[in-house]
Structure 1
Amino acid sequence: MRNNNNSREEDRNKETSSSPSSLDSRFNQTLRNVQGLLKGRSFPGKVLITRRSDPLTQPISPSPNTRFSDGDIDHVERVDRTTEDELQKRSNMNASSSVTHTKSLTTGNENTSKETQKSTMGARATDSARLMKFTKELSGPTVILDKLRELAWSGVPSYLRPTVWRLLLGYAPSNSDRREGALRRKRLEYLDCVAQYHDIPDKERTDEEINMLRQIAVDCPRTVPDVTFFQQELLQKSLERILYTWAIRHPASGYVQGINDLATPFIVVFLSEYLEGSIDTWSMDDLSPEKISNVEADCYWCLSKLLDGMQDHYTFAQPGIQRLVFKLKELVRRIDEPVSRHMEDQGLEFLQFAFRWFNCLLIREIPFHLVTRLWDTYLAEGDALPDFLVYIFASFLLTWSDKLQKLDFQDMVMFLQHLPTQNWTDVELEMVLSQAYMWHTMFNNSPSHLAS
């Protein structure tokens, strides 16, 4: 009888271990491991893509830049021994909180303390081990961009951000001996372009160019209106020169509203090399014309590099954005069918809210102080950024899945146009990125995982 009882107990254990709730539990544990790794000292490698019936005995670590083939699906890369203990500790710390609970963190409640934000930042971008890795990568004669991307994906220390962004975008050469001379030449080239295209009388412009310049002049004061620094006349004039020069040199698209927003993270980052303290205390009057020119040039070339990777987003009818909006709709349907069905029943089209997200890369949807952190991840993605945006925006939208299912059409439109992110900190942003991380690893290049 005892043997029979033991046999029944083993059968029950097997059934329990393969039950959906058990699988969900391990799947959620995988997600928590990813969230912990985003704050850790070691950049992730690969992640387990499928749900498995056997226990997960070590932290799983995905890489946003890794592209998987079908043969990779059941493999997990071992974590480096020097960081394994640390990763396990962070994973265990995160194991006590559930994925459903993290949704409540993203509603922008005012109870998120400054201590939480500070500890998160300390564990990530300012962690001493990470700083040493950044320093090591940047101090060599040649920067290995793949390693720099891995570090930058989880956040870049603010004082290193200008250098790292120039390297990630390919504006500054990876060879340190060539870097200073290359920057000097590109900055002079920008000055020549401004003199040739912008600093000329209107009689030398076509009617189309005059109209474009007027539109840019109208849009510049509207750029990031909730940050007073961007209302300074000298800064708006700099932004005008950058945008107009870019538009003239890219006639296939010309100026498109939204590109003005894309220039703002570059302006803030490159100005931080010359201005100290909070952006609220910055003044363009404190800068010499040469420094302003250098900032403008760096912004211009980095903006050009960024837009080169998404040219069809800003050509006629913006087909690139329309394609990504369709992919976003499909991904949301696969991940969260109830909210997808509710939006469809209410007649809400994704283009009505997601077009602006892709056009401005969420700059208008989150507090501006979080934008540069988000862009660390954007730039680390490199050429893969457009496809990864779909996963970030799906994660961003489904932060409010429960809320959306309770709203009718009109209320949904109003809610999605005025999302409650004003009190967001790095904690909520990391949650969005970690969820996007997981979905990208599971679904990208694995169509069978998207099957209903």
Structure 2
Amino acid sequence: MKSNITTANSNGREEDRKETNTSISSLDSRFNQTLRNVQGLLKGRSFPGKVLITRRSDPLDGSTLRSPDNERSFSDNDTGSSGQMEESFEDEVQSRSKPNTNKAVNKLKSSMSSTENTSKEVQKSTMGARATDSARLMKFTKELSGPTVIPEKLRELAWSGVPPYLRPTVWRLLLGYAPPNSDRREGVLRRKRLEYLDCVAQYYDIPDTERTDEEISMLRQIGVDCPRTVPDVSFFQQVEVQKSLERILYTWAIRHPASGYVQGINDLVTPFLVVFLSEYLEGSVDNWSILDLPPEKISNIEADCYWCLSKLLDGMQDHYTFAQPGIQRLVFKLKELVRRIDEPVSRHMEEQGLEFLQFAFRWFNCLLIREIPFHLVTRLWDTYLAEGDALPDFLVYIFASFLLTWSDKLQKLDFQEMVMFLQHLPIQNWTHLELEMVLSRAYMWHTMFNSSPSHLAG
């Protein structure tokens, strides 16, 4: 009998020990599973379940992963690119073991081509899959149909993408242009649209004789920049569209004299214009004609663009004041972050004399609009707007992830080749898959580094 009791006690202690070990290693196990899932992405393996990158010890909601800052949701397809890092390492080993550098370069090109082909094959199943997931659609619908929208919950949902037909409403709410209280929403929008009309009549619809020399010069510069805005999308080459851009930009510049008009702000209007036009025009943007809309609707769309642009730039004022100190500060942070994440790339760029300002300034100035295919911009901006006031700092992580997409490639280029490469990045065939990978790496690095306030100090 005593022997049986001893055996039972031993078994009990063993079970307790196993349970304790399981509890202790739960976070590590989940994180390791995440890395294995991520590594399988570019090798064609499917994901067995949710991708979990979190410090929480309690079970997560079945549909979302939350950010430590503003409860961002994180999609099933939001994954990093550890697989790319593995392939880069393999290529580096092979290039060092072979005297013929061309063979290594050819292997890199072949690997990139294979990745692009894989992306194309899965595009139909991944493009916008998260944004159109039925469970998330129900959550969006429930959140938007209530008497009052809770901004934190809406940001959580929007971070991983917004269904296109809900984007106009969601963006207005995320930016604080439309009030969360549904009873007040229509009245506020009507008042703000009338206020924009008054501003246009007061500042834009006047003869040049009533403008200062500085205002005339600024209007002319805007007139020059509008035809250059998103030149590869035919919709923006319509004269009427360019006039709308001109009215919005000039009115904004007059109302914000601390910065006035700065080249690059013209690009920031375009996502708003496309999204708010999508409430009235269907099909591809390339087939749209703004003349299909009556003047009052065009006026309302311009007003929404104006106020949303104002709300966006309110959170990054020093990006567009004299010498643009805000952008310079973020470029420095980007350089430090890249150095800590990928020291070989950072060292190579430094040895070649390439300054981050030479390529990253435009990224921050135009928020990547000039870098990625325009059909991906609105998805990227779902995440931008969901970040809210934290956006400027989170841009550093997004742009680091964007740059290090080509980590292995950059290490093989000299100064001139890097400059040309970064000015003409091979992203013409990018889909939502590649963009989600960029955002997921940014999320991972933000989770890892942001809890250490001094990690970018230098």
TM-score of the pair, normalised by structure 1: 0.81
Alpha carbons of 1:138 and 1:220: their partners in 2 closer, same or farther (altered >3 Å)?
A: same
Decide whether aligned partners of structure 1 residues 182 and 348 sit closer, same or farther in structure 2, where only a CA change above 3 A counts: same
- SS of structure 2 residue aligned to 1:111: helix
Which secondary structure does the structure 2 equivalent of 1:400 belong to? helix
Equivalent position to 2:35, from 16, 28, 33 = 28
1:412 matched to 2:418: yes
Matched, 1:47 2:54: yes
Shift in Å, 1:29 = 3.6
Tell me which stretches of 4 or more aligned residues in structure 1 moved more than 4 Å: 22-27, 30-35, 39-44, 56-62, 93-97, 101-110, 112-115, 447-452
User: Residue 334 of structure 1 contacts residue 451 of structure 1 at CA under 8 Å; is this kept in 2?
Assistant: no
Counterparts of residues 137-152 of structure 1 (less than 5 Å): 137-152=143-158
Aligned residue pairs total 405
Report the Cα distance in structure 1 between the residues aligned to 2:50 and 2:235, rounded to whole angstroms.
Answer: 36
Aligned match of 1:4: none
Q: Is the 8 A contact 1:391 1:440 kept in 2?
A: yes
1:48-447 to 2 correspondences below 5 Å: 48=55, 63-64=66-67, 66=69, 98-100=83-85, 110-112=116-118, 116-121=122-127, 123-447=129-453
**Residue equivalent to 1:7:** none
Q: Name the amino acid aligned to 1:98.
A: G
C-alpha distance after superposition, 1:1-41 (max 9, x if no partner): xxxxxxxxxxxxxxxxx9xxx99966724857999xxx999
In structure 2, do the counterparts of structure 1 residues 302 and 448 end up closer, same or farther at CA, with 3 Å as the change threshold?
A: closer
TM-score by length of 2: 0.80
Comparing 218-227 and 110-119, the one that deviates more: 110-119
Q: Is this contact kept in 2: 1:31–1:438, CA < 8 A?
A: no
**1:43 positional shift:** 11
Quick one: higher RCO (CA 8 Å, sep 6+), 1 or 2? Answer: 1
* 1:120-173 residue CA offsets vs partner (Å, 9 max, x unmatched): 135300010010000000000000110000000000000000000000000001
- Structure 1: gaps of 5 or more residues: 1-17, 50-55, 69-78
Please say which structure displays the higher CA radius of gyration. Answer: 2
Question: What amino acid sits opposite 1:152 in the alignment?
Answer: A
Question: Would the alpha carbon gap of residues 134 and 43 (structure 1) be closer, same or farther in structure 2, given more than 3 Å must change?
Answer: farther
Q: Separation in 2 of the partners of 1:102 and 1:280?
A: 37
Equivalent in the alignment of 1:74: none
Deviation per CA, 1:70-125: give whole Å up to 9, x if none: xxxxxxxxx9xxx9xxx9xx69x989983536889987965256552221135300
Question: CA 1:47 to 1:102, structure 2 compared with 1: closer, same or farther past 3 Å?
Answer: farther
Query: 2:117 aligns to what SS in structure 1?
Result: coil
Check conservation: 2:162, 2:379, Cα contact below 8 A.
Answer: yes
Q: Which residue of 1 aligns with 2:16?
A: none
Amino acid at match of 2:292: D
CA gap of 1:110–1:207, structure 2 versus 1, over 3 A, is: same
Retained in 2: the 8 A contact 1:169–1:305? yes
Instruction: Report the Cα offset of residue 243 of structure 1.
Output: 0.1
Say which SS state the counterpart of residue 127 (structure 2) adopts.
helix
Cα root mean square deviation, aligned: 3.7
CA distance, structure 1, for counterparts of residue 80 and residue 314 of structure 2: 41
Aligned amino acid, residue 376 of structure 2: L
